[in-house]
Every structure is written in C-alpha cells, then in structure tokens.
Amino acid sequence: MPSISSYDYNLPLSEILKQSTKAAHDEVATSPEAGKLLRGELSKEQYARYLMMLWHVYAAIEQGLERHATHPTFEPTYNPALLHRAPALSSDISYLLQVPEWKTHPIHHRLISSPPAGLFTFVNRIHEVADAQDPSPLIAHAYVRYLGDLSGGQTIRHTLAKAYDLDEASGTGLQFYAFKGLTSNKLASQGEMKRIKEWYREGMNAGVGGNVQRKSEIVDEASLSFKLNAGLFAAIAQEDPEPFEGSMTKEQLAALVKPLSSEAPGYSVQNVVVLIAAVSIGHFLLTVGGFTGQRGWYKYLGFEEWVVSTWKSVTA
C-alpha cells in the first residue's frame, strides 16, 4: 500500500479513497470468512448472527450521522430514507428467525453477553469518532459500508436467497440488499445504484472541499474501517469468539443497543407522566438490584421490552 505522503491531497476525496483503500478492500473481499458468506456456506444461525453484528455497526453509524446531519461534511450525503440499513437489517433478522423481536432471541443474548472483540472494537470506534470535536472521519465508515452494499453486496443477493430459501422476487428477508432510487420509491436497478454511488462520491467531495487535514483524517479512518470490517468477518463462524478484554460499563452496554426512536408523534401529558413514572420505578429497581454481568444484560433487555410495552399500553 502506498504511504500517506504519496497521495495527492489536491485530488477529490473520493479519488484519494479509491487509491488508498484498494489493497485493503481486496484483502477483506478475498478472506476465507468473506468467501463463506459470498458462497452462502454459513448456516442460517451463523448468517443471522452476522446480520445482528452488522445491525449494531449500522445503528452506531446512523445514530452518529443523524446527530451530525447539518455538519458541512455530512449534509450533502445525509439521506436516511435512501441509505440507512439498520431498519432493513432488523426486518431481515426477524424474518430469518421467524420472531417479531429478535433482540430477545437466544442468539442475540449470547452475542451481547460476550460480544466478539471485533464487534465491540468496531462499535466503540464509531462512537469515539462521532463524539470527537470534528466528527468528519465518521463519513469514512459510512463510505466503506454503503458503497460496499451498493456494489459487492448486490452480487450475493441471489446466492443468499437460494442458500436460505428466501423469495428473491418479493425481497422478503433480503431487504438489506435493496435500495430505492434517488428520485423515486421504485427498487433501484444496477444502473440506478451506480448513480447513487456517483451521487455519494460527489457529495463527499463537496462536503470536505479542499480541506487537506480533513481529507487525510478521513483516508486514515477508511483504512481502519476496512480492518474493523475484517474483524467482523473473522467473528462470523466462531462458536466461542474471543471476547473483548475487560468488563462493560452500563454506557458501553447501552451503546450496543439501539435506543428507542426519538421520532414520535405528540402524546398527551397524562401518557407522558405515566411513562416517566414507570421508567423511574424501573430505574430505581435496576440501580438497587445491580446492573452488571450477564444477568445485568438480561435485566437490561427485559427492562427495554418492558418500557416498550408500557409505552404501547399508555398510547393505545
């Protein structure tokens, strides 16, 4: 791989990224784990587990993008209706496992109670970048994931449909690989996906402009992103993955779980008061009863489900 000094930072960001990440892209794409995924050789449970890990990664990326939607670096490419993958992943996982709420499924319990080092490191890095004074390098992770989904991800759709007995025509269970058009709600063709990629590259170039320092940081982060994606691939088929070292705090546990949507219609004061009272009681019980270890995680999941059900009941 060329040294950083060999890149011409007067070029548009997208061109520098193309040059700087080619070797890393090829290395990840030809890894044994990626090969198993591409050939549909993972069991349905292994594939579902991989999608769960991806969901946590995308949830972190997309939460960060939402926070910084008006930042100059992100504004030209911020289009959640077009790009966001977390909702599609959630739908696919539920369909694969035939459950309405996959986050309480045993596979997810095992994944989160002892998350692979690759998953924890990836999600933690995304949060670090999103929380930085200049979050611009976050776009490197979006670039690596979204353009990969629009390119290589499309080649495995047919293989996965056959491997896991999914209906390719309806797209059920394959929503992660489906994109709408730039200017319509119709399913994007290969040609339209190419146009989306060009639009994204142009938006990145416009957002960063001629800021050499910012370009350099994004290029470095993109190289790291490929390494982190490789770590995610490596964790796919591990029955007993190597966990991250140390123990997770409450905040780190929460970082691996997508929070309840902040987008909600208006509700009556009475409903809000009831919910606040319920959550306050739950918080007291969690604090008094403890919130550590595997039991603490199950307690967290149960609390999350309880809050959701309480909210549904008071707003019904």
pLDDT for position 99: 96
Mean pLDDT over 208-221 rounds to 97
Q: What is the pTM of this model?
A: 0.78
**Which tokens go with 87?**
């909702």
Indicate if the pLDDT at residue 301 is higher than 90: no
Q: What is the mean pLDDT of residues 258-268?
A: 40
191 or 242: which leads in pLDDT: 191
Of 96-110, 163-177, 250-264, which gets the smallest average pLDDT? 250-264
Determine the Cα–Cα distance for residues 8 and 286; give it in Å rounded to an integer: 54
Rounded average pLDDT over 211-237: 93
User: Over the stretch 9-26, which tens digit does the pLDDT of each residue have?
Assistant: 999 999 999 999 988 888
pLDDT in tens, 280-290: 555 544 454 55
What is the predicted pLDDT for the residue at 73? 98
Residue 246: pLDDT above 50? no
C-beta atoms surrounding 274 within 10 Å:
17
164 closest CA partner among 35, 39, 55: 39
Residue 155 has what pLDDT? 73
Q: At residue 240, does pLDDT exceed 70?
A: no
Q: What is the pLDDT of residues 41-75, one digit of tens each?
A: 999 999 999 999 999 999 999 999 999 999 999 99
Q: What pLDDT is recorded for position 303?
A: 52
Domains and their CATH numbers in the chain:
4-250 (1.20.910.10), 260-315 (no CATH)
Mean pLDDT: which of 199-213, 225-239, 274-288 is highest?
A: 199-213
The amino acid at residue 245 is E
- On the question of pLDDT at 263 being above 80, the answer is no
- Name which of 96-110, 153-167, 282-296 the model is least confident about: 282-296
